[in-house]
Amino acid sequence: MKRRLFVVLLLALGLSGCGGGGDAAAPASGWVPTSAAYADVCRTKLPVQARDTLALIAKGGPYPYRSDGIVFENREGRLPRMKGDYYHEYTVVTPGSPTRGARRIVTGSVGEQYWTADHYDSFEEIDARC
């Protein structure tokens, strides 16, 4: 919640924009991004399969994999630490892959959405405004 307030404050001050870097000051919570992987990514710049997954999430499914929508535990600690079932993960289909592949969308309970193309090694927050 504090991170969301921080983002709103940045937007109000005009300090953040689509494609911005991950070098912003740490929010009041003390949480610090682990790398530039926290830069925003414009929704329109995501692969078409990721945009398809976002559309499925918006309408509540049906999802292509039975594990879609499960709780994402954030074991790697790459996202802000939250309790319980705050995050949920969804598969982004990888063309030609015989498995679920490494691409995911992770959503937070207050509406934030994150993209990872490397199975949770890095995340970008999805900016739906662009």
Residues with catalytic roles: 89, 119
Q: Nearest CA to 16 among 130, 122, 120?
A: 130
Are the C-beta atoms of residues 49 and 93 closer than 8 Å to each other? Answer: yes
Cα 17 to Cα 3: distance, rounded to the nearest angstrom: 16
